[in-house]
């Protein structure tokens, strides 16, 4: 039985994780999405450069994933997490330094680097603390921070758009980041290296086979394509449609609102079906969400697509990263980082390709089709993994 003090500490740790994702992903990474249409109209930003800036952001994220996968010390990871909070503040406000593509590229790269501190390092630290303190089923709450971050940026940009120019919006978001960084810093305890829980129970790693990791990385690479096109260009896509102009931020808000509870829903599904079967279902729904706007351009279709995308994109990430923690409870961020490297490569390639397509065609239909095709390939790879890797699948079966 947990004492009230232990329960209260858990709530503070989870709150720190959630707030860190609001800052490190919601603002430092995702604020760029609703601000793209504004910057396309008011600055030198073009479709092509918008795509390249997104690719550079994800390159920074991939570098962060590489660091997360190569660092073993929890104390060093804690230091990197706190450095990420500071970098996120600087790079958000830094977008307003100049109307210069090089300056923006530098800011987006380091913003991506800080995002890895949230999604990988903070996730690993929170998961390690939960498992060490025998709270095993709570990581889904942590990933709610991604959806909350999207909701925050959607509402913030919608409120600011008629009152502040693009520079002022970045500065105000940077100031807000300072206030979010304080609890994210203070409420996450310093970690403790070791392989036992607070009750003395040993934490046992269950490493999967190389073939399992290879197939999972290939499938997750495809999921990176499926995720990043919408994550980067949703608002810009909507604003290009004559009947939906002015609705971009609202659609982005719907994605965030749907994403908030989705991680808990997918966590419950995974408990009943097993992680990989839940992930397979998530992939299939995600594909449908990507393809809806290819065939229909009405407001209803945009809403349906946003709901299906919102309820699956962070579900895929949370299931995969939680799976990594199940295999490696003593050092979850190591496998998280390896998997995210494949996910991150896709996030570099896809926005750049989408920017080129949009520049040439004036729309994003080709990009959506590309994302859907890659997701279909990833689904088949995941199905192959489930069929051929019975031993590792059983490790992830419901308890």
For 275-308, the pLDDT digits (tens) are: 889 999 999 999 998 888 888 778 888 888 889 9
Query: Residue 202 — φ and ψ, nearest 5°?
Result: -75, 135
Name 196's bridge partners.
202
How confident is the model at residue 46, as a pLDDT?
A: 86
The per-residue pLDDT for 23 is 94
- Determine contact, residues 122/20, Cβ cutoff 8 Å: yes
Q: Per CATH, which fold does 10-188+207-395 belong to? A: Growth Hormone; Chain: A; (1.20.1250)
Q: What is the torsional sign of CA 10, 14, 17, 19?
A: negative
Beta strands in the chain (DSSP E): none
pLDDT band with cut points at 50, 70 and 90 for residue 2: low
Q: What is the mean pLDDT of residues 298-320?
A: 88
Those residues with Cβ within 8 angstroms of residue 177's Cβ, 6 or more apart along the chain or in another chain: 23, 27, 28, 88, 89, 92, 93
The pLDDT value recorded for residue 293 is 83
d(CA 394, CA 399): 10
Cα–Cα distance list, 363 to 77, 240, 360, 366 (Å): 41, 7, 8, 8
Dist. CA 314–CA 300, nearest whole Å: 22
Per residue in 339-367, pLDDT (tens digit) is 877 887 877 777 777 777 777 776 677 88
Q: What is the pLDDT of residue 274?
A: 85
Taking only the tens place, the pLDDT of each residue in 188-223 is 988 776 555 555 565 676 778 888 888 999 999 999
Residue 395 CB contacts under 8 Å (≥ 6 apart), including other chains: 206, 208, 326, 327
């Amino acid at each position: 039985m947990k004492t009230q003090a232990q329960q209260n500490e858990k709530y503070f740790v989870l709150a720190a994780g959630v707030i860190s994702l609001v800052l490190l992903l919601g603002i430092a990474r995702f604020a760029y999405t609703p601000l793209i249409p504004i910057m396309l109209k008011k600055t030198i930003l073009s479709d092509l450069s918008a795509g390249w800036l997104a690719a550079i952001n994800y390159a920074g994220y991939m570098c962060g994933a590489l660091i997360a996968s190569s660092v073993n010390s929890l104390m060093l990871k804690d230091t990197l997490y706190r450095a990420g909070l500071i970098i996120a503040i600087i790079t958000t406000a830094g977008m307003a330094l100049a109307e210069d593509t090089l300056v923006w590229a530098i800011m987006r790269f380091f913003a991506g680097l800080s995002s890895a501190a949230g999604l990988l390092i903070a996730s690993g630290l929170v998961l390690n603390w939960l498992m060490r303190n025998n709270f095993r089923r709570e990581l889904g709450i942590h990933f709610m921070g991604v959806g909350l971050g999207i909701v925050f940026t959607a509402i913030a940009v919608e409120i600011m758009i008629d009152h502040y120019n693009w520079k002022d919006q970045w500065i105000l978001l940077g100031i807000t980041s300072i206030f979010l960084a304080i609890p994210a810093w203070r409420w996450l305890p310093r970690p403790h290296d070791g392989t036992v829980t607070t009750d003395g129970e040993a934490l046992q790693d269950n490493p999967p086979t190389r073939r399992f990791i290879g197939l999972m990385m290939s499938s997750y690479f495809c999921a990176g394509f499926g995720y990043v096109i919408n994550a980067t260009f949703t608002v810009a896509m909507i604003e290009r449609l004559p009947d939906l102009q002015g609705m971009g931020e609202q659609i982005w808000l719907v994605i965030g609102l749907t994403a908030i509870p989705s991680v808990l829903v997918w966590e419950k599904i995974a408990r009943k079906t097993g992680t990989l079967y839940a992930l397979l279902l998530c992939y299939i729904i995600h594909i449908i969400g990507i393809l809806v706007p290819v065939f229909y351009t009405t407001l209803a279709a945009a809403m349906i697509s946003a709901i299906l995308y919102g309820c699956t994109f962070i579900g895929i990430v949370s299931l995969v990263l939680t799976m990594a923690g199940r295999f490696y409870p003593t050092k979850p961020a190591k496998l998280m980082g390896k998997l995210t490297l494949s996910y991150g490569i896709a996030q570099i390639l896809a926005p750049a390709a989408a920017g080129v397509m949009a520049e040439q065609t004036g729309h994003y239909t080709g990009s959506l089709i590309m994302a859907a095709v890659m997701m279909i390939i990833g689904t088949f790879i995941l199905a192959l993994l489930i069929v051929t890797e019975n031993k590792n699948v059983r490790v992830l079966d419901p308890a």
